[in-house]
Amino acid sequence: MIVAHLDLDAFFAAVEELEDPTLRTKPLIVGGDPHGRGVVATANYEARKFGIHSAMSCAEALRRCPHAVFVRPRHSVYRDYSRSVWDTVRGIVPTVERTGLDEGYLDVGKVASDFLQARTIAEAVQTAVRAGTRLTCSLGVSTSKVVSKIASDLRKPGGIVVVPPKTEAAFLAEFDVRKLPGVGPKAEARLRAAGVQTIGAIAALSDTELKRLLPGSVGRVLRDRACGIDHRELELSTERISISVENTFERDVTDRAKLYDELRWMAARVAGHLRESRRTARTVTTKLRYTDFSIRSRSTSLRIGIDDEGEIAELACGLLDRALSDRPGALRLVGVGVSGLSDHRQLAFPALSENASGHPSNGGSPAAATGVDSRAGRATRKLRS
DNA sequence: TCTGGGGTCCTTTATCGG
DNA sequence: TCTGCCGATAAAGGACCC
């Protein structure tokens, strides 16, 4: 397997610079309101000189660089640029897994037979993307997804890093644990507490140490990855399995009527997405974030999929009530999500339509839904190697 | 004064019927 | 009749990613 990871450089910021060239020489931050609760989505390289990076609060970014230019993200514009980038890429490497607007994996093995050719392909992709969209990207090329992913980040912006076969483990060994995809803040803290600072040190962990530090299947997967073992293929199917909308308030909210209003508005948006994609949902989830940042969710499942905003709103508000009676308090965020999606036209199937009246035919316990596996038919996307 | 929004996947816990 | 166990599923929470 020869796989490349492609990552567009400071994508949102780069697009904004193309749309308004006067921004090119200024520190630019794409993100939320610097006077509110927003965070940085992307900063251009000029802004990064001030120590500004993704996920930092905009207020902090403003403090670090008071003359920075702040712009709100314009996702529809980025989607258009992204589409044209990936069209260009597919012109050279047809088999592609997009993992975000600005990154994805390329099955270079389909068009190159060795790593020398692979580098040439990567250069061709880079050149074509620049010519077609005026955007720059970085690529990593290796025998696996993990290694390519880490490699693509190494010589940003505009770099290409090729990791030849058999050198993967040595390549990974010196990187900080946090560079390994799958190691987040929690795993990082546990590893560091045990003196594990590098990916190489994860690779060298004994079975007992591993079980203690990273319990469950996660540990084994991460150690394999740390060794450069990663047999994941490209995932070509892109079916969504949930749809959600959430919002953080400018100021924390306790007023129930205001929360209901917000949920109704969100339910309408979710329902709109559902109908657009001609799908229905069996499960509705309400999400709450309290002032201490802890998250609670309550969900309920129906026997029949729905796409009506009124029904979704009613369920979402009921779930909010349940959550708030379990744990009262001011909220900084609420959200509405749906899952258990299926194609709209399934509603017309005779076997299901007899139940479509909405009246439970018997006892009506939630377990009556047991006959249907909400997870049946969902895209199986595994971490397992 | 901190810390968005939209996702996915995994694990643990509650519940239910046999 | 009471109790415990088992397996399945739904719900909830947690971690992670861009």
Residue A47 (CA) to nucleotide C17 (C1'), in angstroms, measures 23
Q: Is the pLDDT of residue A48 over 90?
A: yes
- Specify the pLDDT at position A344: 73
Strand order in the sheet with A3-8: A96-98, A103-107, A3-8, A137-142, A160-162
- Specify the pLDDT at position A248: 94
What gap in Å lies between CA A60 and CA A203, rounded to an integer?
36
A12-74: which CATH topology? MutS, DNA mismatch repair protein, domain I (3.40.1170)
DSSP notation for A89-103: HHTT---EEE-SSSE
Q: Is the Cβ–Cβ distance between A228 and A147 less than 8 Å?
A: yes
* Catalytic residue check, A103: yes
Nucleotide B1, nearest residue via CA and C1':
A59
- CATH top class, domain A242-384: alpha beta
CA atoms within 13 A on the CB side of A141: 23
- Specify the pLDDT at position A361: 36
Banded model confidence at residue A215, pLDDT cuts 50, 70, 90? confident
Tell me if domain A169-226 and domain A242-384 are identical in fold.
no
A342 forms beta bridges with A280
Residue predicted with more confidence, A217 or A43: A43
Q: Is the pLDDT of residue A122 over 60?
A: yes
Q: Give the CA distances from residue A123 to residues A4, A116, A287, A373, in Å, rounded to whole numbers and listed in that order.
A: 11, 11, 45, 46
| A222-245 tens-digit pLDDT | 999 999 999 999 998 888 899 999
- Specify the pLDDT at position A345: 55
Q: What average pLDDT score do residues A257-261 get?
A: 96
> Where on strand C do bases come within 7 A of a protein Cβ?
9-18
The DSSP symbol for A198 reads: B
| A7-37 tens-digit pLDDT | 999 999 999 999 999 999 999 999 999 999 9
Q: Is the pLDDT of residue A69 over 90?
A: yes
| A154-194 tens-digit pLDDT | 999 999 999 999 999 999 999 999 999 999 988 999 999 99
Mapped onto helix, strand or coil, the DSSP state of residue A137 is: strand
Query: For residue A41, which nucleotide's C1' is closest to its Cα?
Result: B4
Q: Is the pLDDT of residue A259 over 50?
A: yes
| Percent of chain A residues topping a pLDDT of 90 | 84
CA angle in degrees (0–180, nearest 5) for A365-A301-A353: 85
Nucleotide B5, nearest residue via CA and C1':
A246
The DSSP symbol for A371 reads: G
Cα-to-chain-centroid distance, residue A197: 26
Q: Where exactly are the structural domains of chain A? A: 12-74, 169-226, 242-384
What gap in Å lies between CA A357 and CA A31, rounded to an integer?
46
Nucleotide B2, nearest residue via CA and C1':
A57
- Specify the pLDDT at position A367: 34
Residue A379 (CA) to nucleotide B9 (C1'), in angstroms, measures 11
Helix axis angle for A11-19 and A75-90, nearest 10°, is: 100
Annotated catalytic residue within A103, A168, A262, A309: A103
Query: May I ask the CATH architecture of the domain A169-226?
Result: Orthogonal Bundle (1.10)
Residue A381 (CA) to nucleotide C6 (C1'), in angstroms, measures 29
Residue A259 (CA) to nucleotide B12 (C1'), in angstroms, measures 30
What gap in Å lies between CA A89 and CA A8, rounded to an integer?
12
Q: Is the pLDDT of residue A366 over 90?
A: no
Given the DSSP bridges, would you call strands A160-162 and A137-142 parallel, antiparallel or unpaired?
parallel
